Amino acid sequence: MADQQTLSRDQVLSSLPPVAAQGLRSQTRQQLSSSNRAPILVILDDDPTGTQTCHHVNILTVWGVQRLVSEFKQTKSGGGFFILTNSRALHPQQARALIVEICTNLQAAAEETNSAFEVVLRSDSTLRGHFPLEAEAAEHRCCVVSTWPKNHDGFQNLWPREFKA
C-alpha cells in the first residue's frame, strides 16, 4: 500500500484555484436593474420549511388579487416573492384547486399592474407533496413553471416561460 500523506486544512484550501465568482452578485443586480422587463419570480412553496433561509424577500400567506397587486407594485423587475401554499398538507384535489386559485389571482394581478412574472414551484422533494399535479395545474392555468427541488443532484431543470400581461 502506498504511503498516504496527511494534509492540513490550510494546505488543502491553499491548493484550490481562486474563487472565480467575485462580483457575480453585483453583476447580476446590475443586469437586472438595466432590464426594463425582467420578470418577477413568484415562488409557490408547498411547505413552511422552504422559506426559513430566505432573506430580504417577502413571504405571503394570503393571495387575494388586491394583495398580489400590492406585491407586484412593490417588487422590482427581476425581484420576487414567495407564496407559502402549504399544499403538501392537502389532499391532491385540494392542492390542485389551490394552485389554480393562486395562478388565477396572479394573472389578474399581473394584468392590473402590467407585470411579467414567472412561477417557480419549490419543494423539498418530488417524493412528497403533489408532483407533477401542482406543476400541471399551474401550467394549465397560467404559464409553464420551473420546478427546482432542494436537492440539485440529478434534477431535471424545466426552464420557465414567462407570463406577459
Give pLDDT tens digits for 102-143. 999 999 999 999 999 989 888 766 556 777 778 888 887 776
Is residue 154 scored above 50 in pLDDT?
A: no
Proportion of the chain above pLDDT 90, given as a percent: 29
Q: How far apart are CA 18 and CA 64, in angstroms?
A: 48
Query: What's the start-to-end Cα distance of the chain, in Å?
Result: 67
For 128, list phi and psi in degrees, rounded to 5: -115, 170
Better pLDDT: 162 or 31:
31
Better pLDDT: 164 or 64:
64
For 45, list phi and psi in degrees, rounded to 5: -105, 125
The domains of the chain, with CATH numbers, are 37-147 (3.40.50)
Three-state SS at 116: coil
> What's at 135, amino acid-wise?
A
Q: Is the dihedral of CA 76, 77, 79, 81 positive or negative?
A: positive
> How far from 110 is each of 93, 114, 124, 140, CA to CA, in Å?
26, 6, 28, 17
Separation of CA 26 from chain center: 20
Q: How far apart are CA 42 and CA 164, in angstroms?
A: 13
Of residues 104, 122, 91, the one with CA closest to residue 63: 104
Q: 83-104: per-residue pLDDT in tens?
A: 999 888 888 899 999 999 999 9
pLDDT of residue 163: 42
Peptide bond into 132 cis (omega under 30): yes
Three-state SS at 122: strand
Listed range (13-22, 35-44, 130-139, 151-160) with the worst mean pLDDT: 151-160
